[in-house]
Amino acid sequence: MLSRISSRCALVGPSFRRGLATEAATVSSELPSSSQIAPERAKKSSRPCIKTAIILNRAPVLTRTPTPFEKAYYSYQARLRRALHNPFPYDFYFKQGTLLETRFNIEERKRERLAFGPGFLEKEDISEEKRQANIAAVEQLAQQEGEGEELMPRVNQADVNLDEKSLDRSGQCNMYLIVKVTEDGKDIWRFPQGNVEKGQLLHQAAQKNLLAECGDKMDTWIVGRVPVGVYKPEPLLGSPETVIFFHKAHIMAGQVTVDGKNIKDFCWMSKYEVRNKVPRPYWESVKDILSEF
């Protein structure tokens, strides 16, 4: 009998299922106990104030520099592969005696020499004049094809000047946007955030708040519809609890514009630079969302 009552009670009480945007701990603390068949309702606290914050990410634009170990490993594997590869079908790819074949031969000899040392290759059985003529012809071809176009350097002006507002700085890292605002008379750094209006979905509110704080001069995309993290600051006396949901977003183009009204300043920071800027409890709640590199 008792068991039947308690099972009915469990059905009537708050459901075990919870949506994505609710907190687990409060639900489990409110579980009904079998002793209270008709529990007195706790005095209804005021509704929490829900906000959304956007972790706006600039994905890496450069490949990571390999570590010394990786460099040695890749170099060894490349040599191994070169030593073991199948014979190259020259006659399938090049017509006999063409300039392209000559160029390929010269380049290939250079690569072999780099991989296995100068003593590895046998001497070409062509005369010295012929060899020089080949090299000159290949150089001429390279000039015609406009080779020698220089690659962009991996370190650019923003890296040198430590320009924290630039999206070009630290191309190998994930960079995150943080903004400076005045809250309670203090200047603090945080991710862009805003309130959720009634009837608004979280991800829609996130997009709207981002545009409101950082201007519409950029092209962004909010990843998914569910928040990726939550932060609850210590509630002030007498004011309702605040819950901040974090959404991840990517910046595709454009830049933040400062209007001086909502935000005072902004900067793009990597994970460990963010740590030095934001308040400690805030950092604790977002640190696992940010990427190491």
Partner 1 sequence: MASQASRKVSGYSLTRFQRAPRISRALARNPKTGLPQPPAKIITREFAPCRLEDHYHATLKDDLMYMTYTHEIGERRPPRQIRLKFDPEDPYTKYRKNPPVGGSQIGKKPAPPSTPENIVRLEKIQLHAMVKEAVANKGHLLPALMQMKALSGESFQGGGHHAVEGVQIIRGKKSVGGWVRPGIPIGVKVDLKGQAMYDFLGTLTEFVLPRLRDFPGIVLPPQSSSSNTPSTAAGVVSFGLPPTAIGFFPQIEINIDAYPKLTGMHIHFVTNATGVGAQDRARALVSGFQIPFVRR
Beta strand ranges found along the chain (DSSP E): 49-58, 175-183, 186-190, 193-195, 218-222, 229-231, 242-254, 265-269
Q: What does the DSSP 8-state code read for residue 89?
A: -
Backbone dihedral region for residue 32 (phi beyond 0: left; psi -120 to 50: alpha; all else: beta): beta
State in angstroms the smallest separation of the CB of 250 from partner 1.
8
State in angstroms the smallest separation of the CB of 128 from partner 1.
28
Residue 63 or 276 having the CB closest to partner 1: 63
Cβ atoms 52, 209 nearer than 8 A:
yes
Residue 67 or 127 having the CB closest to partner 1: 67
State in angstroms the smallest separation of the CB of 271 from partner 1.
12
Residues 6+ apart with CB under 8 A from 5: 34, 37
SS3 (DSSP) at 250: strand
The two three-digit tokens of residue 62, written as one number = 């450069």
State in angstroms the smallest separation of the CB of 93 from partner 1.
5
Cα separation, 96 vs 111, whole angstroms: 21
State in angstroms the smallest separation of the CB of 260 from partner 1.
33
Sign of torsion over alpha carbons 208, 213, 219, 221: negative
Residue 75 or 182 having the CB closest to partner 1: 75
State in angstroms the smallest separation of the CB of 238 from partner 1.
34
State in angstroms the smallest separation of the CB of 16 from partner 1.
7
Residues in the site for partner 1, rule: CB under 8 A? 16-20, 59-60, 63-64, 66, 68, 70-72, 74-78, 80-81, 84, 86, 92-94, 117, 174, 223-224, 226, 228, 248, 250, 291, 293
Residue 258 or 289 having the CB closest to partner 1: 289
Residue 103 or 263 having the CB closest to partner 1: 103
Residue 5 or 88 having the CB closest to partner 1: 88
Residue 17 or 44 having the CB closest to partner 1: 17
Residues 6+ apart with CB under 8 A from 285: 229, 230, 231
Looking at the chain, how many residues does it have?
A: 293
Return the amino acid letter for 10: A
Cα separation, 163 vs 175, whole angstroms: 13
